[in-house]
């Protein structure tokens, strides 16, 4: 197997890891004002992802860095053509991170309410725009003979891409609700599981429509198998949620998102960014790649450090694996002093 194919596969794995892990983070953030009825419950919801959200974001940083090093032409065209949506995603992630850190610094309800809104919108914007971005990558965008994007921001807002954004939004909401059902106890747990079914059923229909459209556009054989498996995993996860088996339900949406993203990369290969102007202008794993020497060095670095990162992140999830509920939340110190 050529190193270009190896690195295309590794970048796909990084994006799969990002979407299945950060996906439930986004879902939890969007569900914060929906599932929590008071500040104590909001603290429970936030604490479910408190120890892991920043580690989950590392996946996208590594994916971006790997794309820059392994496929510099892909990186340059993508980040110049998709500048505005990617900038909005970056700003949303920064604001969201600040909200997690600063929300508990003061005890005034207005202060917390502002940061709660930041968590909600900081989760909503990436949840939609990542779907829009990846749908455009798979569908293709106007790229000229100089490998430069010649469209506009409005070009990216086509019906197929908007459907992709709606798909990721629904999947992340369902994924986040099932994560909350798995990680909490008491009323929040039951409300989260019920909401997962309410959101998950229409999401399944939207996802099937989007993946079918993608398959018709690409026509790739292996992507059809991945999309079919993704649909079955999502249906299985929703059935497990109906049976109140939160662990299996979460694994269902976990697998569904992972298989769907894998299918998108299979549909894309061997292109990395198709051109809608002329197929000859498309960026591929060959003409967008770095030198063999660069890819060889990167491969050795990945072999050495990837297992360490995976072990550390796995250990983090193991340490914080237990459920939490409102009785685990202590009374705020400032409230104690004022009483």
Q: What is the pLDDT of residue 1?
A: 64
Q: What angle do CA 159, 175, 62 make, to 5 degrees?
A: 80
**Element holding 273 (H helix, E strand):** strand 271-273
3-class state of residue 329 by DSSP: coil
β-sheet bridge partners, residue 273: 283
User: Residue 149 in contact with residue 142, Cβ under 8 Å?
Assistant: yes
For residues 137 and 75, give the distance between their C-alpha atoms in angstroms, rounded to a whole number.
12
- Considering only CA atoms, which of 324, 250, 330 is closest in space to residue 50? 324
User: Residue 22 in contact with residue 176, Cβ under 8 Å?
Assistant: no
CB neighbour list of residue 236: distance below 8 Å, 6 or more residues apart: 248, 252
Sequence spans of domains, the chain: 3-338
Q: What is the pLDDT of residue 219?
A: 72
The DSSP code sequence of 229-264 is HHHHHHHHHHHHHHTT-HHHHHHHHHHHHHHHHHHH
Q: What is the pLDDT of residue 84?
A: 93
Percent composition of the chain: helix, strand, coil (DSSP 3-state, to 5): 80, 5, 15
pLDDT digits (tens, 9 = 90+) for 124-165: 999 999 999 999 999 999 999 988 899 888 999 999 999 999
Entry pTM: 0.92
Q: What is the DSSP letter of 322?
A: S
CB neighbour list of residue 274: distance below 8 Å, 6 or more residues apart: 138, 139, 140, 141, 143, 268, 282, 283
User: Which residues in the chain come in under a pLDDT of 70?
Assistant: 1, 332-339
pLDDT digits (tens, 9 = 90+) for 288-333: 999 989 999 999 988 888 888 889 888 888 888 888 888 777 776 5
Q: What is the pLDDT of residue 104?
A: 87
For residues 139 and 39, give the distance between their C-alpha atoms in angstroms, rounded to a whole number.
43
CA dihedral 217, 218, 222, 227 (to 10 degrees): -30
Q: What is the pLDDT of residue 328?
A: 75
- Considering only CA atoms, which of 329, 75, 51, 28 is closest in space to residue 176? 28
**Element holding 284 (H helix, E strand):** strand 283-284
Q: What is the pLDDT of residue 217?
A: 82
For residues 150 and 276, give the distance between their C-alpha atoms in angstroms, rounded to a whole number.
11
User: Residue 71 in contact with residue 288, Cβ under 8 Å?
Assistant: yes
β-sheet bridge partners, residue 271: 284
Q: What is the DSSP letter of 143?
A: B
Q: What is the pLDDT of residue 258?
A: 96
């Amino acid at each position: 197997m050529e190193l270009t194919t190896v690195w295309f596969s590794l970048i796909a794995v990084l994006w799969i890891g990002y979407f299945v892990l950060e996906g439930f983070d986004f879902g939890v953030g969007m569900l914060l004002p929906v599932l929590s009825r008071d500040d104590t419950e909001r603290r429970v919801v936030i604490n479910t992802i408190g120890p892991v959200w920043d580690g989950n974001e590392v996946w996208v940083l590594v994916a971006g860095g790997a794309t820059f090093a392994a496929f510099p032409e892909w990186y340059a065209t993508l980040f110049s053509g998709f500048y505005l949506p990617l900038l909005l995603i970056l700003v949303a992630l920064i604001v969201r991170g600040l909200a997690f850190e600063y929300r508990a610094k003061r005890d005034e309800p207005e202060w917390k309410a502002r940061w709660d809104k930041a968590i909600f919108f900081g989760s909503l914007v990436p949840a939609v725009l990542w779907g829009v971005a990846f749908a455009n990558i798979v569908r293709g965008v106007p790229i000229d003979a100089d490998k430069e994007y010649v469209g506009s921001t409005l070009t990216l807002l086509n019906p197929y891409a908007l459907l992709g954004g709606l798909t990721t939004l629904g999947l992340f909401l369902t994924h986040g609700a099932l994560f909350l059902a798995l990680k909490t106890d008491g009323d929040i747990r039951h409300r989260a599981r019920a909401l997962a079914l309410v959101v998950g059923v229409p999401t399944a229909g939207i996802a099937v429509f989007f993946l079918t459209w993608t398959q018709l556009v690409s026509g790739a054989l292996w992507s059809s198998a991945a999309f079919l498996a993704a649909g079955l995993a999502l249906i299985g996860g929703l059935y497990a949620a109906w049976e109140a088996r939160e662990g299996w339900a979460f694994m269902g949406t976990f697998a569904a998102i992972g298989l769907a993203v894998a299918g998108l990369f299979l549909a894309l290969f061997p292109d990395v960014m198709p051109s809608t102007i002329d197929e000859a202008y498309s960026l591929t794993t060959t003409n967008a790649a770095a030198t063999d020497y660069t890819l060889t060095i990167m491969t050795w670095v990945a072999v050495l450090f990837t297992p360490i990162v995976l072990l550390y992140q796995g250990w983090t999830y193991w340490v914080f694996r237990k459920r939490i509920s409102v009785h685990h939340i202590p009374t705020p110190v400032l409230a104690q002093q004022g009483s």
